[in-house]
Structure formats: C-alpha cells, structure tokens
Amino acid sequence: MNDSSYIQEGDHVFLKKGDNLRLFQVHKSRDVWLEKNKFLLDGILGHMYGTLFEVKDGQMVKVERTIPQDVEIADECVGDNRDLLDNDSNQKLTQDEIEQMKKEGVSGDHLIEQLIENSATFQNKTGYAQEKWVKKKKKKHLLQFTVLKPTARLLCEMQWSKGPSRISNLRVDSLAQMLTMGNVHANSTVLVVDSCMGLISAAVLERLAGYGRMVCFFHGDSPLKQALEPLDFPQKVMNSLYQFPLDMVNSLKHTKVENGEHITEEKDASKSSDILVNEESHNSEKTDNVQVEQSCATDVGIDLEMDTKENEEEAKEQEMDVKSESKDDVDIKTIEKKDRATRWKKKEKKNKKDRAEAKQERAREIERARKVLLDRKADCLLVATKFHPTPIVLALVDLIAPSRQIVVFSQFKEALQDCYMHLREHKGLVNYRLTETWLREYQVLPNRTHPVIQMSGTGGYLLSATTIVKQT
C-alpha cells in the first residue's frame, strides 16, 4: 500500500459525521473540540483513510463496520403512526441516566439498545419510522467519525455548508463542469483566475497531478491559497504551479519573443527615456542644493565653533556626573543598552534579509510564469472571480491556443451576458454557450427514493466558448 493511504502526523484530515465535515491537522497530544467534546487524534495515526472511529474517554478508537440493524427492522416491523404522540414521557431513561452510562464507558450499540427497550412507542412505529428514530439517536448520542483524506470536492462541500458567499456560490457540480468543459487533463497548460479561496486552483492541481502547468493569476500582494494547504500536495505537484499578478497582464501585450529573448515595443522604451530625463533633472537639482549648502556653511562658521565649545563643556559635565554614580549601576546599564542594541540590529538585519529574499523569490516566480504566458499556447482558461469578468477574459483570451476552451463562472447571469456580447465583438471565438448549472440531490433508500426536500436554489452560471485563429 502507498504511504499516502495511511494517516501520518502533520496530515490534514476530514472528520465526517452525517453531512457535517470538519477539517483538522493531526498532531500528537493536541486536543481538538468537536460537538462540545474534547478528544485527541492520536488514535487515528497509522490507520487507513476511510476508517470509522468512535470517541471513548477522550481517545479515538477504531470501530468495525457492521451491517446496520435498522434496515432489518424496517423490513420486518410494520406498524401505524397515527396514534403516536412525541412526548418526553415516552422514554423511561432520564438524561442523567444516559450521561451516567456514557461515563461508565457503555458502547454506543448497547446504549441504543437500552434506548429502544425503554421506549414506550418504538414497537408501535412503522419500519421506516423506526429506522429514522434509530438514526436520530445515533447522531445525538454517538461520537462516531469517518476519517477522510482531503479532496477538492470535500473542501467545496465544507465551504458551501459554512457559507456559499465565501466561494462566490461555487457549488461542487459547477466546479466539476468547469474542469470538464475546460478539458483539464495531464500535460496541459491551464490559466486560472480564482477568487474562490483557491478551490479551482486546488481542483486543477489535483487533476494535473504534477504533469502539466497551471498559471494562477492573482489580485493584490499574493494569491489565495486557503484550499491548497489542506490537500498536502507533494513538491512535484507544487512545482507545476506558476503565479502571475493581474496588474501585469497588459505588459505581455508589449512583449515579443524572438530567438528565445524578450523584446519590448517602443512604448516601453519611451517610458524608460522619460524616466532618465527625470533622473537627470533630479541630479541637477541636487548639485544646486550642494552649492547653496556650502555657501551657507562659510557664513555660519563662527556659530559652529561656538556650538562645538558648548558641546564639549556639556560632555565634561556629564562625565563628572557619571563618575559620581556607582560603578556597578553604570556597568549594568551599559550592558543592557548593548544587549538591546545588538538584538535590534540582528532583528533588523534578519527582517531586511527576509524581505529581500522574498522579493527576489517573487521576481523569479513572476519571470518563470511570464515565459509560459509569452508562448501563447495555453490549453484552457478558467475564470471564477468576484470582479467583473469581461476585462479579465478579454485580456487573457489571446494567450490561449486555437481550438481550446475558455470557461467563465459567475453567480450573476448579467455579468456573463455582458462578457458574451464583448467576446462576440472580439471575433476570436465560436461555439458560445451560456448555461445554468442545476443539481438535484436524491435520497436513495428502499421504497423511499425521492428528491431531497431542502436543496440549494442555484449553483451559478457558466459561459464557455472555443478559441479560433482570429481573422485580421
């Protein structure tokens, strides 16, 4: 078995109970809180992902999966619910007795059996009602979690449950359609504009698996990487990630590649000449200021001599005051001052060094991505941004090779309609499609398969098109 199939210290894991997902990083002897309970994750180390665990005495204990008994109950028992009333008096066990059983370490299955035996109405319920009642009691009284390995799908589902607006209402089916429409596959070059906490970037890297290149455009100082860290990608996969700022995209239009060298157009040369002229005028001003300062210095020479004499007298007085103090106090103060000065100097040097290294690393990363973009042979463009998509798509569409796909996601239909009209004027694409994603979740149970009553109303809109050689 591959080592990545087993849980190791430092890995990110999902704890799933029913429809609830929580993300944790595994560390030894570190307490975690979940559903008002504190426990350790040490017990899951060394086990395979997908294993079921139960919390006992603050520890995670592996639970062997068995055939659920509620299915057998549903097939055998048939009753009638019309005369049943949902009252607290139907359960003979009190809450204090249930808590006492939990403290004594009673297993979850035995606790559920005790609740069934002490229920006055359980035997009179229908088989379906009995199954639902057992599931409800297990969810309430049992702390059983399935440990899952983080994936882009699970991250999307977790963020959707927390608040869809945080990821621009990007639902998991919309994410899957973007990858499919864009034909994201190994050994392809993908351009991504992602404002969904890095979900699209994580899904693309997960599909490329280290074979291919992904250029992630970002706005501001750094890209959004919240979704990349939990996936624990190996270095091989992270090497396929390129980053490029959006505010430098227009500079690509004035750059050409000839014989493997980057050549800028005359517009940039004129800008550089203006900068040189400004620098020359600034230098001339400096020389004038120096001359004025020299002339002023000759006029006030006498004042400077008087100031130096006064300073010498003050220094002598300070020396006499210092001698009057005790030597021990002076030594302690000087040592403390020296220590503070050395600490500040070291800290300042370290900060300057870190900032300089970060700037150099960022410059190398941008140049690395620029070389990929200047080839203008990307295989697809995926856009899901909180900004208006039209200017972004128009600026990047020329970097895509012919007969490739662009896919734009937005939670607002009007934004994609505007983008559609501008792309039609661009005359470099065909096969336009503006669709609304629709996902209907079903409950699949024996004799009870039907759509889930509560579901999301919309998953956003998608605009897709195919690039062609633009006719000039």
Whether residue 123 lies inside any domain: the answer is yes
- For the chain, residues with pLDDT lower than 50 are 1, 69-77, 259, 266-308, 322-328, 330
Residue 413 has a pLDDT of 92
> Which CATH number covers residue 127?
3.10.330.20
Do 6 and 105 lie in a common domain?
A: yes
5 and 142 together in one domain: yes
Provide the pLDDT for residue 71: 42
Name the DSSP class of 3: G
Pairing of strands 255-258, 261-264: antiparallel
Q: What is the dihedral of CA 351, 353, 355, 359, to 10 degrees?
A: 180
* 159: amino acid identity, one letter: Q
Same-domain check for residues 246 and 393 = yes
pLDDT tens for 388-444 read 999 999 999 999 999 999 999 999 999 999 999 999 998 889 999 999 988 888 988
Count of C-beta atoms within a 10 Å radius of residue 178: 27
H or E element in which residue 68 lies: none
Q: How far apart are the C-alpha atoms of 443 and 454, rounded to whole Å?
A: 11
**What pLDDT sits at residue 69?**
47
> Within a domain: residue 313?
yes
Q: Are residues 254 and 290 in the same domain?
A: no
- Select from 149, 180, 200 the last residue of a domain: 149
Assess if residue 158 is contained within a domain: yes
Q: Name the domain count of the chain.
A: 3
Q: Does residue 128 share a domain with residue 36?
A: yes
Is 170 exposed, middle or buried (CB count within 10 Å of its CB: 0-12, 13-18, 19+)? buried
Cα–Cα distance list, 106 to 13, 17, 35, 100, 437 (Å): 27, 20, 19, 9, 47
Residue 196 domain-assigned (yes or no): yes
Dig out the tokens for 307 from the structure: 């100031």
Q: Give the pairing of strands 241-245 and 52-56.
A: unpaired
Q: Who's near 146: CB < 8 A, 6+ residues apart?
A: 15, 16, 17, 50, 51, 52, 53
Residues 35 and 142 in one domain: yes
Distance CA 281, CA 332 (A): 53
The per-residue pLDDT for 260 is 52
Distance separating alpha carbons of residues 241 and 205, to the nearest angstrom: 8
Find the angle CA(29)-CA(35)-CA(41) to the nearest 5 degrees. Answer: 20
Same domain, 381 and 453: yes
Query: Of 126, 149, 172, which marks where a domain is finished?
Result: 149
* 423 shares a domain with 444: yes
Q: How far apart are CA 400 and CA 383, in angstroms?
A: 13
Helix (H, G, I), strand (E, B) or coil at 10: coil
Range of the domain at 199: 152-259+369-467
State the DSSP string of 180-221: HHTT--TTEEEEEEE-STTHHHHHHHHHHTTSEEEEEEESSS
Tell me whether strands 188-194 and 212-218 are parallel, antiparallel or unpaired: parallel
Displacement of CA 224 from its chain's centroid (Å): 6
Strands 188-194 and 378-384, bridge-based pairing:
parallel
Q: Are residues 159 and 144 in the same domain?
A: no
Same domain? For 214 and 234 the reply is yes
The residues with which 380 forms a beta bridge, in sequence order, are 190, 405
What is the structure's pLDDT at 203?
A: 95
Asked, for residue 472, whether it belongs to a domain, the answer is: no
Give the position of tokens 């509560």: 454
Of 149, 181, 213, the domain-final residue: 149
Predicted local distance difference test score (pLDDT) of residue 54: 86
Within a domain: residue 213?
yes
105, 190: one domain: no
Nearest to 48 by CA among 106, 98, 3, 101: 3
The single-letter DSSP state of residue 6 is B
Examine the domain organization and report whether 285 and 334 are in the same domain. yes
